Amino acid sequence: MAATETAGVRYAPEDPSLPKPWRALIDGKTGFIYYWNPDTSVTQYQKPVAQTKPASPDASVSVSLSSSVKESSQVTNDDNTAVGEDSVNGRGSNGGSLQRESSGRVNGLSAIADGPAVRDGPSAESYRRQHEITVTGDNVPPPFTSFEAVGLPPDILREVLQAGFSAPTPIQAQSWAIAFQSRDIVAIAKTGSGKTLGYLMPAFRHLKRCHNNPKLGPTVLVLSPTRELATQIQDEAEKFGSSSKISCTCLYGGAPKGPQLKDLERGVDIVVATPGRLNDILQMGRVNLGQISYMVLDEADRMLDMGFEPQIRKIVKEIPARRQTLMYTATWPKEVRKIAADLLVNPVQVNIGNVDELVANKSITQHVEIIPPMEKQRRVEQIVRSQEPGSKIIIFCATKKMCDQLSRNLSRHFGAAAIHGDKNQSERDDVLNKFRTGSCPILVATDVAARGLDVKDIRVVINYDFPKGIEDYVHRIGRTGRGGATGVAHSFFGDQDAKHASDLIKILEGANQRVPDEIRGMASGGGFGRSRSQWGSGPGRSYDSGYGGRDGFGNESRDSFHEGMVSLPQKRSRSRSPTGGAHRFDSSSQAQDGTQVHSFHKAMMEWV
C-alpha cells in the first residue's frame, strides 16, 4: 500500500530542502511528520539529508524497512557492509527462529530503523569508545548522540528537556537506535544509567504504531523485581507518556488487587508488574496478554536471584511469540544468559563497561572502615553530622530488626525512618515519599530497597552491615552518584565479612584505588579468628577507594550461617583462637590481648 493510501495520512507542505524523491507526510492520528521515499518504499521519522560526499567507514546509513520492501532490500551496518533483511527481522545464519515473520514485521508492525541518512556528531566508533559501549550483533545501527537525532515527538521532547536531560545517556543512545528497528536487545548496564527511558521511549513509539484497543489488553509489558522499582517505572511512564495519552498501570503485591483489576478492566496500554502479582491475576483470568508485542525484563538478574524464573516463564507462555523483547541487567551470569537465549531472538547485546566484570559507578568515592559492631552507631552519627543539613542518606542493615532499632535511635537526633519487608504498602509509600521530599532525609533499609529505589539526589550510602555478596555491595552503593552526580559510600567491614575480602579487593583494585592493608590480611589469612584489636578495636579506620571489579559472590550467606548457629547452639564457630582451638559461643570470649569481645553468636542474636 502506498503511503498516501493509509487512513489519516496526508502530504505535508512541500519542503524544498528535502532531497529528491523524499516526501514529507503527516500522520493524521498523531500529527507526527515522517518521511517517505516512493522509489524505495522506505519510511522514517528523521528528516533525510542529501549526502554530499561518500560516507566514511564510521558514518552509517540507517535505512528503514516497510512491509512492502522487497526480499532483496538491504540495510547497512557501521562498516557499510550490506546485509540481507534476515538480519533485521530476527533470522540468524542457522535459518532463525519462527518468532519473526519473513517480512520483518513484529505482530504486524514493520521493522523501522529511524534516523537520518548520516547522523551528525561524533562517529559511532568514537562515541562508543568514549562511553565504553560494546555491541554484539548483526548490522548494529549507530547510537543517537542527541535528542534531535532521535526525533522524539514534540510533547515528549519537551518533557525530557524540562526534566533536565541535555543528551541521551550511553545506554539510551545505543538501545534506542536498535529498539527502533523492532529488534531484541540485551542491555548490560549499571544502575542509574538511564535504562528506564532506554526502553520506555521505544515503547511509546511502538504504541503509536500499533493502534491497539487497550480494552482488549495491554500492548506493552514491563516486568520488574520489586514493587518500589515497578512504581517508579510507572511514574516515569506517566510523566513522559501522558502528553501522548498513553495509559499505564502497576501490578504488585502487598496492595489490594481491586484497584489494579479496575485499571485492567478500563484498559491500559502499558502494564508494569512484579512477576508474582501478574501471575496471580493471570490465574484469576482477569488480564489478557494476547496483544503484548513489546516486553521488557528490567533487572533480570535480580528477578532470577529472587526466584522469579518460574513465574516469568509462565507469563511468557501467555504472550505471542511474535514480539519484541528487551532485557536489562546489571550483571551477566550464566542464569541470565540461559533465560536470554530462551526468550530473545537474535538479540543485539549492548554493554556499558566491561562485559565480564561487575559494572560499578566510578563517580562514587568509597570509604571502607574496619570497625567493631559496638562502634557502628557512633560512627554513623559522626558521618551524618558531617554532611550538609538535609543531605539524603541511605543506611543498609542486614535484618529488619536492626533497621527498626537503628532508625529509632537515629530519630532522637535526626529525621530517620525504616523500610523493609514487614512494612505494609501504605507505610512503605509514606516513608519513601518523606524521603524523596526531604522531610525525612535518612532512610534505613534492608536489601529490599537496594535495587528498587530510584532517588536522584542521594548523597551518601552507608553499609552498616556488609552485604551477603559483592554484587549486592555494588548495587547498594549505586543508589548514590546517579545521573552524572558524585556520591560517597561508607562500608563497615569486620571479621564476619572476611569471606568477601578477596572480591572486595578486586573491586577496589579495578578502580586503581587504595586497598586497606587489613583487607589484604583478611584475604590472605581468611580473616576469621583474628583478634579484634588487630583489625581495629579502636575507632574504625577509613580508606578511600574507587571500584569496578568482577562478578563475585561469597560462599555462604550471613543469614544461613546464623540460622545454623541458632539451631545448633553447641556448634563451634569457624573462628580459631591463636592456639588453634575454636571459640565457643559464650559472652566471655576474649581477644588475644585479654579484652572482652562480644561473640559472633551474641551479636547476631542482637541483630535478629
What is the tens place of the pLDDT at every residue in 431-444? 988 998 999 999 99
Q: Which residue has the cell 528497528?
A: 181
396 in the Ramachandran plot: left (φ > 0), alpha (ψ -120 to 50) or beta?
beta
Q: Quick one: 317 and 372 in the same domain?
A: no
Q: 516 and 460, same structural domain?
A: yes
Long-range contacts of 417-426 (CB under 8 A, 24+ apart): 417/442, 417/443, 417/444, 418/443, 418/444, 418/445, 419/443, 419/444, 419/445, 419/446, 419/448, 419/449, 420/445, 420/446, 420/448, 420/449, 421/446, 421/448, 424/254, 425/227, 425/254, 425/255
Q: Taking 70 as the threshold, does the pLDDT of residue 4 lie above it? A: no
Instruction: Tell me, yes or no, whether 457 and 585 share the same domain.
Output: no
Residue 386 lies in a domain: yes
% the chain with pLDDT above 90 = 43
- Evaluate whether residue 487 is within a structural domain: yes
HEC readout, 283-313: HCCCCCCCCCCEEEEECHHHHHHCCCHHHHH
- The answer to whether 380 and 443 have CB atoms below 8 angstroms apart is no
Are the beta carbons of 120 and 142 closer than 8 angstroms?
no
Euclidean distance between CA atoms 538 and 551, whole angstroms: 32
Q: Is 31 a residue whose pLDDT tops 50? A: yes
> What single letter denotes the amino acid at residue 423?
K
Give 193-231 pLDDT, tens digit per residue. 889 999 999 999 999 899 899 999 999 999 999 998 999
pLDDT at 65 over 60: no
Nearest to 195 by CA among 174, 172, 166, 176: 172
Is residue 113 situated within a structural domain? no
Show the domain range for 3: 1-39
Residue 343 DSSP SS3: helix
**Residue ranges of the alpha helices (H) in 526-599?**
532-535, 558-567
518 plus 596 within the same structural domain: no
pLDDT grade for 41, boundaries at 50, 70 and 90: low
Residues forming beta bridges with residue 74, ordered by sequence position: 84
Of 112, 116, 119, the closest CA to residue 180 belongs to: 112
Backbone angles phi, psi at 567, to 5 degrees: -75, -25
Residue 11 in domain: yes
Higher pLDDT, 58 or 297: 297
3, part of any domain: yes
Q: Decide which of 326, 352, 378 is a domain's last residue.
A: 352
Q: Residue 255 belongs to a domain with what CATH number?
A: 3.40.50.300
Position 338 pLDDT exceeds 90: yes
Task: Give the sign of the dihedral formed by CA 401, CA 405, CA 410, CA 413.
Answer: positive
Query: Same structural domain for residues 411 and 389?
Result: yes
C-alpha cell at 535: 583489625
Answer yes or no: do 420 and 330 share one domain. Answer: no
**Whether 276 and 311 share a structural domain:** yes
**Are 256 and 372 found together in one domain?**
no
Q: Is the pLDDT of residue 149 over 60?
A: yes
User: Is pLDDT above 80 for 50?
Assistant: no
Shared domain check, 371 and 330: no
Q: Are residues 485 and 577 in the same domain?
A: no
Q: Same domain, yes or no, for 492 and 420?
A: yes
pLDDT, position 355: 55
> pLDDT class for 510, splitting at 50, 70, 90?
confident
320-324, 429-433, 569-573: least confidently modelled range: 569-573
Against a cut of 0.95, is the pTM above it? no
Mind listing the pLDDT tens digit for each residue in 5-15? 444 567 777 77
One domain, residues 319 and 189: yes
- Residue 143: the pLDDT is 95
Is residue 314 one of the residues assigned to a domain?
yes
**Which among 299, 331, 352 is the end of a domain?**
352
564 or 381: which leads in pLDDT: 381
> What's the pLDDT score for residue 247?
96
Tens-digit pLDDT profile for residues 94-142: 333 333 433 343 443 433 344 433 345 578 999 999 998 999 999 999 9
Domain assignment present for residue 379? The answer is yes
353 class by beta-carbon count within 10 Å (0-12 exposed, 13-18 middle, 19+ buried): buried
Establish if 278 belongs to a structural domain.
yes
Among 35-44, 55-64, 291-300, 459-468, name the one with the lowest average pLDDT: 55-64
Short-list 289, 205, 216, 277, CA closest to 246? 205
pLDDT at 449: 61
| pLDDT of the residue at 90 | 41
pLDDT value, residue 450: 56
Task: Report how far Cα 459 is from the mean position of its chain's Cα atoms.
Answer: 20
Q: How many domains does the chain have?
A: 4
Closest CA to 62 of 47, 324, 72, 200: 47
Higher confidence at residue 528 or residue 302? 302
Tens digit of pLDDT for each residue in 228-281? 899 999 999 999 998 889 999 999 998 999 999 999 999 999 999 999 999 999
* pLDDT for 538: 40
